[in-house]
Copies of this chain bind each other. A is one copy, B any other.
Amino acid sequence: MADPPTGRADVSQLFQLLRDGRPRTRAELSKSTGLARSTVTGRVDELLRLGLITPVGEAASTGGRPPSQFALNPGAKVVIAADLGASHATVALADLTGELLAEHAEPLPIDLGPEPVLTWVVDGARALLERTGRSERDVAAIGIGLPGPVEHSTGQPVNPPIMPGWDRFDVPGWMREHLDVPVLVDNDVNISALGERAFAWPGTEHFMFVKVATGIGAGIISDGLLQRGAQGTAGDIGHVRAARDVDVPCRCGNHGCLEALAAGPAIARTLAAQGLDARTGSDVVELVKRGELAAIQAVRQAGRDIGEVLTTAVSLINPSVIAIGGSMARVSEHLIAGVREIVYTRSSPLATEHLAIVQSAAGRSAAVRGAAILAVEHALSPEGLAHAFAPR
């Protein structure tokens, strides 16, 4: 007779179907997977025992006892999500749909270095677990966003310009000494793309998130997948040469980069040259809020400069939505108006026919939402499942 099947592949196959949240009967599961009814029954029992799925409602009866339906149990586990910005940090707990359950944010300079900042994350996560009555055993994975380039495969920052002490620091290794679950690390703009899409544009397969703040960067989702590129630098548009030939030096060592022309500090410099009191992006935000015409015009011009680069992005990537976030976009519609002006003028009709260019709806929470999704995606994958739900 046959060796008994190991069953792991079957369980994972069933669970991958059920994780979309749509309830299904045993008969539907058998049909979708091609597994025998008896096998499905055994695997469903196993997933119920683990608490990973839960019986839901009742399916339409086909006569006799109505068959039970099952779906993902979003509260079976939690994930920890952290968004670590240049000067501000957020830590949150989320359920297995990525929904935020609790969060805590405070000013925290990233240049304190990795150990103090990550200790803050561990302490904050433990406090949130306690507040929500969950234990460390309930944590399936941790997602972390950092304000610089990250090698996603190792979770290590690589030459991050504003993060002294973080270069090649083993973030997952350090974290796992304190919380022994898988740790996923990515840069904040990439995870903002994940978070913004889940929050405002679920199901959009070709999506781009552009952050305009102290720097400028983009996160790209194509065919539903976050694009990182060969070295993880995909979306790094801050150092593309701007179309306007202005010979401004950039902190990267080159001249005329988009960031040196259109990010917050660059707009402030333009305004200071006109005699206005502006040194930082926050000063620009204040001037725009006060209705200062020169500031509004400078922000709109920054939008046009960004639009020139996004026109090329539209031709290359053909997204259906570009969401623009970051402090410079949040303050008003002027930046986005400048972007739209150029992109809709310069791009091919086919590429812009169904293109929406919009303000970020998730706002400041885009990154921490994305960190949660990064963790959930891993925890619920066949690979992550083996770890997350093994008895500890």
Determine the residue in chain B with the shortest Cβ distance to A204.
B230
Chain B residue numbers with a CB within 8 Å of A176 are none
Question: A33 within 8 Å of B by Cβ?
Answer: yes
Determine the chain B residues whose CB is within 8 A of the CB of A220 once the complex forms.
316-317
Each complex incorporates copies of this chain amounting to 2
- Min C-beta distance of A267 to chain B, whole Å: 21
Contact stretch, chosen from A166-174, A239-247, A323-331 = A239-247
Contact assessment for A317 and B316 in the assembled complex, using a CB-CB cutoff below 8 Å: yes
Per the 8 Å Cβ criterion, residues 204-250 of A in contact with B are: 205-206, 218, 220, 222-223, 225, 227-237, 239-241, 243, 245
Check if A61 is an interface residue, CB within 8 A of chain B.
Answer: no
Which residues 337-369 of A sit at the B interface, judged by CB distance below 8 A?
Answer: 346-348, 350-351, 353-355
A167 to chain B, nearest CB (A): 12
Contact bitstring A1-45, B, C-beta under 8 A = 1, else 0: 111111111100000000000000000001001111111000000
The stretch from A94-102, A125-133, A289-297, A304-312 touching chain B is A304-312
Residues of chain B within 8 A of A315, CB atoms compared? 233, 235-237, 239-240
Q: Decide: B227 and A317 in contact? CB cutoff 8 A.
A: yes
A313 at the A/B interface (Cβ < 8 Å)? Answer: yes
**Cβ-defined partner of A35 (8 Å) among B5, B205, B245, B350:** B5
B223 touches A348 (CB 8 A): no
Contact A236 B348 (CB under 8 A): yes
Contact A312 B240 (CB under 8 A): yes
Task: Check A350 against B233 for contact (C-beta < 8 Å).
Answer: yes
Does A332 sit within 8 A of B, measured CB to CB? no
Most B CB atoms within 10 A — which of A220, A228, A230? Answer: A230
Contacts of A218 in B (CB 8 A): 316
Q: Do B316 and A348 have beta carbons less than 8 Å apart?
A: no
**Docked pose: A86 CA to B205 CA in angstroms:** 32
A33 proximity list for chain B (CB < 8 A): 9
Chain B minimum-CB-distance residue to A13:
B9
A318 touches B (CB below 8 Å) = yes
A30: which B residues are within 8 A, CB to CB? 3
Question: DSSP majority for the A interface?
Answer: loop
Given A34-B10, A240-B311, A241-B243, answer yes or no on A229-B3 (Cβ-Cβ < 8 Å). no
Taking CB as reference atom, which chain B residue is nearest A308?
A: B241
Task: Contact check, B230 vs A348: say whether CB atoms are below 8 A apart.
Answer: no
A282 at the interface (CB under 8 A from B): no
Residue contact A235 to B316, C-beta cutoff 8 Å: yes
Q: Verify B159–A233 contact, CB threshold 8 A.
A: no
* Residues of A in contact with B, size category: 35 or more
Interface presence of A158 (CB below 8 A): yes
Bound CA span A234–B347, Å? 12
Complex Cα distance, B39 from A10, in Å, reads 13
Whether A316 lies near B319 (C-beta < 8 A) is no
**Is A119 at the interface (CB under 8 A from chain B)?**
no
Is B317 a contact partner of A229 (Cβ separation < 8 A)? yes
- Counting chain B CB atoms within 10 Å of each CB, the highest count among A2, A4, A315, A353 belongs to A315
The chain B residue sitting closest to A321, CB to CB, is B230
Query: Quick one: which of A121-173 are within 8 Å of B by CB?
Result: 149, 158-159
CA distance A239 to B239 in the complex (A): 22
A residues touching B (Cβ–Cβ < 8 Å)?
1-10, 30, 33-39, 149, 158-159, 205-206, 218, 220, 222-223, 225, 227-237, 239-241, 243, 245, 252, 254, 308-309, 311-313, 315-320, 346-348, 350-351, 353-355
Question: With contacts A7-B34, A231-B353 known, what are 15 further pairs, Cβ within 8 A?
Answer: A5-B36, A6-B34, A10-B34, A223-B225, A225-B225, A229-B319, A230-B355, A234-B317, A235-B316, A237-B316, A239-B315, A240-B312, A240-B315, A241-B243, A252-B348
